[in-house]
Amino acid sequence: MEVIVQPDAQAMCLLAAQFIVELVRRKPHCVLGLATGSTPIPLYNELIRQHCEAGLDFYGVTTFNLDEYYPIAPTHPQSYRRFMNERLFDHVNIRRERTHVPDGLASEVAAECANYEARIKEAGGLDLQVLGVGTNGHIGFNEPGASLCGPTHLAVLTERTIHNNARFFDGAEAVPKLALTMGIGTILASRHCVLLANGKHKRDAIALLVEGPLTAQCPASALQLHPRATVIVEEDAAGKLTRREYYDHVQQMLARPKEGWRNGVKR
Ligand code: GLP
């Protein structure tokens, strides 16, 4: 797992955007896994800027979102489909039929989940999955206790998640109690996972996911099993990492590998 600490949330999102920009340029038909929440908003703003000012071309790109509330209409102001349309898709030249968000109104939930998995496979699998993290360590809506290898499924939200997300709704009562979410197995099958977190309220979750034991009680810790997981945080979210010096050292070494290898140790 690579841990990169940036000075602030903007720098964190710009770095995450660089990974995506580089991927889209290198592989114009790439498959992106996307996340909602407040954390990646500056990332999407940067992608829009890159599209408008630097011609970043989304025409061939396919996207799959991590999750969607259930039940919820796609037109609901808090639906993740609407979030993605308003925050990214409406502003770039992606083909709408290539953007996928689980159907929050699916009548056959099991079929919708199986179909979502099938569509990801058909598209060639996820090249890069963007992730946020809940204060309880959830990724997507994989709450503590979720299977660490499961597929897309119907998840029951915890009280804590409902409470955290109540700010976007007219109070906790209005938050859907269920969600359709990629499973951790789906996420781990992605070729590159990029997890972002900012703010002091995320520091416990970040410490647990990076340095804690691999446990379903912190679903994000499953990223420890991933061959290419990049955790990008800012100073506040990094506040409880005990091996910070080492993570910075790794970044220095990777920035100048030949010199680093020759000298052996950090100067
Ligand atoms: C939501 C989403 C997650 C997201 C998390 C953090 O519940 N299902 O995918 O990562 O909460 O949200 P925020 O970025 O607003 O802190």
Query: From residue 75, how far is each of 51, 55, 90, 111, 237 by CA, in Å?
Result: 25, 29, 14, 22, 33
Q: Hey, what are 104's tokens?
A: 């929050």
Q: What average pLDDT does this structure show over 23-52?
A: 98
Ligand 1 center from residue 41 Cα (angstroms)? 11
pLDDT averaged over the chain? 96
Instruction: List domains and CATH numbers for the chain.
Output: 2-266 (3.40.50.1360)
Ligand 1 center from residue 36 Cα (angstroms)? 6
Ligand 1 center from residue 108 Cα (angstroms)? 25
Among candidate residues 65, 136, 165, 198, the one labeled active-site is 136
Among candidate residues 68, 103, 127, 138, the one labeled active-site is 138
> Tens digits of per-residue pLDDT, 68-79?
999 999 999 999
Q: What average pLDDT does this structure show over 137-150?
A: 98
pTM score, whole prediction:
0.96
What is the predicted pLDDT for the residue at 257? 73
Q: Which atom of ligand 1 is nearest to the CA of 165?
A: 7
Does 138 qualify as catalytic in the annotation?
yes
In the DSSP assignment, the letter for residue 183 is: -
256 confidence band (pLDDT: 50, 70, 90): confident
Does 45 qualify as catalytic in the annotation?
no
Q: What average pLDDT does this structure show over 141-148?
A: 98
261 confidence band (pLDDT: 50, 70, 90): low
Higher pLDDT: 261 or 34? It is 34
> Tens digits of per-residue pLDDT, 43-60?
999 999 999 999 999 999
Contact status, residue 186 vs residue 80, Cβ threshold 8 Å = no
Q: Hey, what are 12's tokens?
A: 């964190």
